[in-house]
Amino acid sequence: MSDDKSKVTDKASEIAKNIWLAGVGAYGRAVDEAQSNLKKATPQPPKLFRDLVKAGSQLEEEASEARAAALSSVEERIAQVRENFQMQRPARTGDIDSLHKKVDKLTRKVDALTRLIKEQQAASKPAAGKKAPATPRKKASTRSTAKTPKKKA
């Protein structure tokens, strides 16, 4: 049984060693490929960097133009809203006086119309001072009001 254990242990050690060596080999190959790619890429970085800078500049310019257009559009809309609601300046004393005069004029018109309505209502009703003509009363009778005896049945 000890021989079996030792064979299994030796086999496991050999497999572990092979796995370790495969990992080291893969690492070595990756390093070699990275160095090879670095040598190939060395002349390209300045050109790649310049291309990226150029593209970034173009994007920045386009973004700046778009921002300016959006800002202009927003400012135009704000101006329209202010114009519609007359918010471009505070109310002046002259404006308030003008409004007071208009209100006073309308108040006088309402008062005149109210008087006219009252006059028309008064004209349609009979005058309170005039009474209908009195009808003559009948004269009281001269009969006596003495009680008559009750008849027995």
pLDDT tens by residue, 86-140: 665 666 788 888 999 999 999 999 999 999 999 999 888 765 555 555 666 666 6
pLDDT at position 73: 92
pTM of the entire structure? 0.29
pLDDT at position 126: 64
Contact predicate 82/88, CB 8 Å: yes
pLDDT tens by residue, 19-42: 889 998 898 899 888 888 877 766
- The percent of residues above 90 in pLDDT, for the chain, comes to 25
- In whole angstroms, give the CA distance from residue 79 to residue 91: 18
20, 24, 26, 28 alpha-carbon torsion, rounded to 10°: -170
| Sign (positive or negative) of CA dihedral 27, 32, 35, 37 | negative
- In whole angstroms, give the CA distance from residue 12 to residue 105: 112
